[in-house]
């Protein structure tokens, strides 16, 4: 077990504190990073009295933990957190992007290979949507990838039902407000039309809940099929439905600027 680093600041060891001051991480986050469950479920474990910190029962999910402390769930100490990893997954229709569905529908996570660690999705796809879904074992990485500030474009191929022209789709390029919800500019290009059906390529950066479907409904169209083909620099490519493929750490770290930051820190250290 690693020792506490005094530079991290004071931490709570009683298991009963809920202060945001001091160093360390909230115990619910520590449990989630160890791959036991989500942070929300970790809070439920704490409420059920199943979590201890240095042998004492934890009663507050905000309790902060230092690296020298021993956290256990049901008497079993947490394993060391695994390094951050990222995967491409081709989601098929009919799967929900949750770990448990109250309606009993099949989930993305229940269909993953048993050899994979516990992962979370980067954003979601509706049950009837398909295509590229990024998965990671690191919640912090997932949130960083999802942030609009990252400026990453999501690209979709959309099959539409209803009469539509390029001029109709161009109305989305200025941004639009629907039922009080403001949607940022969306680029939609009509690819081909066959009768009442058509295909369009749609690019957006925000990714609000059901954004593409709501925008198309606003234009009087129905989305018959929605396929995400790209998320930032990552492409669906030829990945088959239901298949998953790990993205090399070097590639996604470069895209997020981790490699550049590491190089800069090394250069500064050499100059010091």
How does pLDDT run across 99-129, given as a tens digit for each residue? 888 899 999 999 899 888 889 999 889 999 9
Asked if 157 contacts 229 with a C-beta cutoff of 8 angstroms, the reply is: yes
Annotated catalytic residue within 126, 170, 179, 189: 126
Is 126 assigned a catalytic role?
A: yes
Question: What kind of architecture, by CATH, is found in domain 6-77?
Answer: Roll (3.10)
Homologous superfamily of 86-247 in CATH? Pseudouridine synthase (3.30.2350.10)
Q: Is the pLDDT of residue 20 over 70?
A: no
d(CA 103, CA 196): 34
Nearest Cα residue to 77 out of 48, 102, 54: 54
The per-residue pLDDT for 185 is 93
Compute the 3-state secondary structure of the chain and give helix, strand, coil in percent, each to the nearest 5.
Answer: 25, 30, 45
Answer whether residue 15 shows pLDDT above 60: no
Mean pLDDT of 163-189: 94
Higher-scoring residue by pLDDT: 80, 97:
97
pLDDT at res. 248: 94
Residue 149's pLDDT is what?
72
- The conformational region for residue 169 under phi > 0 = left, psi -120 to 50 = alpha, else beta, is alpha
Q: What is the pLDDT of residue 243?
A: 96
Report the chain's mean pLDDT, rounded to a whole number.
Answer: 83
In which residue are the tokens 């790990």 written? 246
The answer on pLDDT for 23 being more than 80 is no
- Burial classification of residue 187, based on how many CB atoms lie within 10 Å of its CB (0-12 exposed, 13-18 middle, 19 or more buried): middle
How far, rounded to the nearest angstrom, does the alpha carbon of residue 117 sit from its chain's CA centroid?
15
What the block records as the tokens of 217 is: 């409904």
H or E element that contains 266: helix 258-271
Tens digit of each residue's pLDDT (9 = 90 or more) over 245-267: 999 999 998 888 764 444 444 43
Q: Which of 10-24, 67-81, 212-226, 256-270 has the highest mean pLDDT?
A: 212-226
Range 38-48 average pLDDT: 87
Predicted pLDDT at 62:
85
pTM, two decimals, is 0.73
DSSP string, 55-106: TEEP--TT-EE-TTS-EEETTEEPPPPPPP-EEEEEEPTT-BSSS--TT---
Rounded CA-CA distance 76/51 in Å is 9
Question: pLDDT digits over 135-166, tens only?
Answer: 998 888 888 888 777 778 999 999 999 999 99
> What was the pLDDT predicted at 144?
85
The domain ranges of the chain are 6-77, 86-247
């Amino acid at each position: 077990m690693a020792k506490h680093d005094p530079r991290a600041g004071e931490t709570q060891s009683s298991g009963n504190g809920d202060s945001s001051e001091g160093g360390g991480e909230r115990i619910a986050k520590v449990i989630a990073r160890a791959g036991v469950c989500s942070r929300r479920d970790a809070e439920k474990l704490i409420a059920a009295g199943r979590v201890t910190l240095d042998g004492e029962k934890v009663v507050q999910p905000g309790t902060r933990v230092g690296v020298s402390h021993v956290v256990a769930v049901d008497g079993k100490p947490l394993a060391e957190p695994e390094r951050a990893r990222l995967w491409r997954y081709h989601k098929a229709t009919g799967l929900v992007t949750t770990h448990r569905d109250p309606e009993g529908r099949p989930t993305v996570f229940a269909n993953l290979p048993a050899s994979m660690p516990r992962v979370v999705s980067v954003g979601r796809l509706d049950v009837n949507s398909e295509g590229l879904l990024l998965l990671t074992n690191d919640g912090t990485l997932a949130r960083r990838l999802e942030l609009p500030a990252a400026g990453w474009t999501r690209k979709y191929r959309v099959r539409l039902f209803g009469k539509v022209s390029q001029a109709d789709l161009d109305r989305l390029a200025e941004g639009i407000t629907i039922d009080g919800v403001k949607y940022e500019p969306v680029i939609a290009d009509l690819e081909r039309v066959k009768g009442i059906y058509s295909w369009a390529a749609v690019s957006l950066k925000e990714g609000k809940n059901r954004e593409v479907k709501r925008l198309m409904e606003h234009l009087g169209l129905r989305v018959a099929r929605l396929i995400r083909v790209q998320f930032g620099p990552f492409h669906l490519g030829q990945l088959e439905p239901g298949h998953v493929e790990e993205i090399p750490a070097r590639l996604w770290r470069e895209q997020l600027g981790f490699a550049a930051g590491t190089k800069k820190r090394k250069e500064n250290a050499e100059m010091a």
